[in-house]
């Protein structure tokens, strides 16, 4: 048996959970390299040439035969795919197999955004996602990933779960991918082994209870609560189901599984009912350690519908009225009905269907981003924003210019480009037809408008 340098208390815990024979398989698996996987953005047309195989519980997820240099692939900067480990993508199967109704969703612990981009894809133009992250620097990364994904159906916030108090009974689905002791990451991240201790497991469990005590109240009647961790111990997993059923009235949800997937269903008896959790072990599944459970809020619970606000007032956002909003949609050639706001004279667009929800959220939470930032209007011209380039919205009548892979890397490094035969003015830069950003051709020089803070430094 290979040396594992696993904490002794962790070994005892896993031995108890798995039994001797399976524990030996687990130890072997945890020392093997993990497989790289990506999830394609179905709203952006793209296919990879890398050898790959499908992840069985997903429609858009693939294992790659080898790990490429993602940073040097322009397509990742265009939001064509997200690098995500395979077990986490099981959420896609939950959403599709349970046919969870679309609506207003919350991802309460969202950075860097793997599960948020998945939820955003599921919702498409039939819902709105609030992607929240409490740590400010991580909220910035989350915002960047939401912008690259480009669906325009998300609001990024930077709040502590406690700040959500006024949004009780507001959400159709709340996901809590909780901060945890990270036992499932021992393979990918050997440092996680060093940081592990029984005390830390207890600390994590107490913190998860505080978060879930908030999250449980935010789901409306008949809505869904999804809880996940990347750890194996029962305190942070099954015990959380027990805790939630004691605190709130939630019904069990059982997920259909294909036996070949080797995902372990675990049962929790609570309040006279059987609840279910799903466990991913690295010796059984080609993915990292993961736990997930789904609960359905009882039909008697509270539902909070957002009310119409007559005079919307906000410290920094200005409302663009409906007439002007529909004129903008027509001028810009956008489908659907948008609602616009300005912030420092820059126009943002969200779907009008979710405007009342947005207004309520903007009053109570710290907004980092929402919908799509289009840009500024100067007389009859638009100064387009980078966020618009990356969104799936049409790009008016701006000309576009396709770059080679090498040129795209230069563009993403924010270097100067020499591009002959370019039309004057704003030009949308594309790589394999995926928009990457804007340049402006002034005639005697070409300005590269790739955001400085996003540039590739490799």
Dihedral through CA 124, CA 130, CA 134, CA 136, nearest 10?
A: 70
Closer to ligand SAM at the Cβ: 76 or 436? Answer: 76
Was 114 annotated as part of a binding site?
yes
Question: β-strand 400-402 against 425-431: which pairing, if any?
Answer: parallel
* Closest separation in Å from C-beta 345 to ligand SAM: 32
Was 389 annotated as part of a binding site?
no
Assess contact for 452 and 445: CB atoms under 8 A: no
Closer to ligand SAM at the Cβ: 224 or 450? Answer: 224
Was 177 annotated as part of a binding site?
yes
* Closest separation in Å from C-beta 89 to ligand SAM: 10
Assess contact for 184 and 280: CB atoms under 8 A: yes
* Closest separation in Å from C-beta 381 to ligand SAM: 38
Which residues face 268 on adjacent strands? 275
Closer to ligand SAM at the Cβ: 207 or 314? Answer: 207
* Closest separation in Å from C-beta 456 to ligand SAM: 21
User: Which tokens in the block code for residue 57?
Assistant: 């519980």
Closer to ligand SAM at the Cβ: 122 or 347? Answer: 122
Instruction: By CB under 6 A, name the binding residues for ligand SAM.
Output: 88, 109-115, 133-135, 138, 161, 177, 179, 207, 211
Was 258 annotated as part of a binding site?
no
Residue 322, SS3 per DSSP: helix
* Closest separation in Å from C-beta 240 to ligand SAM: 14
Assess contact for 295 and 244: CB atoms under 8 A: yes
Residue 339, SS3 per DSSP: strand
φ, ψ for residue 285 (rounded to 5)? -125, 145
Quick one: which of 136, 246, 210, 118 has its CA closest to 173? Answer: 118
Closer to ligand SAM at the Cβ: 118 or 417? Answer: 118
The rounded distance, in Å, linking the Cα atoms of 160 and 158 is 7
Was 133 annotated as part of a binding site?
yes
Quick one: which of 277, 217, 218 has its CA closest to 242? Answer: 277
Query: What distance, in Å, lies between the first and last C-alpha atoms of the chain?
Result: 39
Question: β-strand 104-107 against 61-64: which pairing, if any?
Answer: unpaired
The rounded distance, in Å, linking the Cα atoms of 117 and 147 is 10
Catalytic site residue from 78, 230, 294, 350: 230
Was 329 annotated as part of a binding site?
no
Closer to ligand SAM at the Cβ: 18 or 106? Answer: 106
- Tell me how many degrees the CA angle 267-120-279 measures, rounded to the nearest 5: 20
The rounded distance, in Å, linking the Cα atoms of 424 and 427 is 8
Dihedral through CA 393, CA 395, CA 397, CA 402, nearest 10?
A: -130
Quick one: which of 224, 215, 243, 220 has its CA closest to 300? Answer: 220
* Closest separation in Å from C-beta 152 to ligand SAM: 20
Instruction: Tell me which residue has tokens 């524990």.
Output: 23
Closer to ligand SAM at the Cβ: 40 or 374? Answer: 40
Was 394 annotated as part of a binding site?
no
Assess contact for 212 and 227: CB atoms under 8 A: yes
Quick one: which of 313, 340, 312 has its CA closest to 326? Answer: 340
Give the CA distances from residue 178 to residues 173, 205, 226, in Å, rounded to whole numbers and listed in that order: 15, 10, 10
Was 109 annotated as part of a binding site?
yes
* Closest separation in Å from C-beta 105 to ligand SAM: 13
User: Does residue 204 have an active-site annotation?
Assistant: no
Was 259 annotated as part of a binding site?
no
Q: Which residues are annotated as a binding site for S-adenosyl-L-methionine?
A: 109-115, 133, 160, 177
User: Which residues are part of the catalytic machinery?
Assistant: 230
Q: Which residues are annotated as a binding site?
A: 109-115, 133, 160, 177
């Amino acid at each position: 048996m290979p040396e594992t340098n696993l904490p002794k208390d962790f070994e005892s815990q896993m031995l108890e959970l798995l039994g001797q024979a399976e524990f030996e398989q687990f130890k072997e698996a945890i020392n093997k390299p993990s497989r790289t996987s990506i999830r394609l953005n179905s709203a952006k047309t793209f296919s990879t040439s890398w050898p790959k195989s499908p992840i069985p519980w997903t429609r858009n997820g693939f294992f790659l035969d080898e790990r490429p240099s993602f940073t040097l692939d322009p397509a990742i900067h265009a939001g064509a795919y997200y690098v995500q480990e395979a077990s986490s993508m099981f959420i896609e199967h939950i959403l599709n197999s349970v046919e969870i109704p679309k609506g207003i969703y919350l991802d309460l612990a969202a950075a860097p955004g793997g599960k948020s981009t998945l939820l955003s894809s599921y919702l498409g133009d039939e819902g709105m996602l609030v992607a929240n992250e409490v740590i400010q620097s991580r909220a910035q990364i989350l915002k960047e990933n939401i912008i690259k994904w480009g669906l325009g159906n998300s609001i990024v916030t930077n709040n502590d779960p406690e700040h959500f108090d006024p949004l009780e009974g507001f959400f159709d689905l709340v996901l809590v991918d909780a901060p945890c002791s990270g036992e499932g990451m021992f393979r990918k991240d050997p440092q996680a082994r060093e940081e592990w201790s029984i005390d830390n497991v207890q600390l994590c469990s107490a913190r998860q209870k505080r978060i879930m005590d908030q999250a449980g109240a935010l789901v409306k009647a008949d809505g869904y609560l999804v809880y996940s961790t990347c750890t194996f111990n029962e305190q942070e997993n099954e015990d959380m189901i027990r805790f939630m059923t004691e605190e709130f009235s939630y019904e069990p949800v059982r997920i259909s599984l294909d036996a070949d997937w080797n995902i372990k269903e675990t049962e929790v008896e609570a309040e006279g009912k059987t609840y279910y959790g799903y466990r991913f072990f690295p010796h059984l599944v080609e993915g990292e350690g993961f736990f997930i459970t789904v609960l359905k809020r009882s039909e008697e619970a509270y539902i909070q519908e957002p009310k119409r606000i007559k005079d919307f007032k906000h410290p920094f956002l200005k409302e663009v009225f409906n007439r002007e909003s529909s004129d903008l949609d027509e001028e810009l050639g956008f489908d659907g009905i948008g609602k616009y706001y300005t912030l420092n004279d820059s126009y943002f667009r969200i779907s009008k269907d979710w405007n009342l929800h947005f207004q309520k959220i903007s009053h109570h939470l710290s907004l980092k981003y929402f919908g799509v930032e289009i840009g500024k209007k100067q007389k009859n011209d638009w100064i387009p924003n980078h966020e618009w380039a990356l969104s799936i919205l049409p790009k008016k009548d701006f000309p576009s210019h396709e770059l080679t892979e090498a040129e795209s890397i230069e563009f993403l490094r924010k270097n100067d480009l020499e591009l002959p035969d370019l039309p004057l003015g704003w030009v949308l830069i594309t790589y394999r037809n995926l928009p990457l950003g804007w340049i402006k051709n002034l005639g005697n020089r070409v300005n590269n408008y790739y955001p400085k803070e996003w540039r590739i430094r490799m």
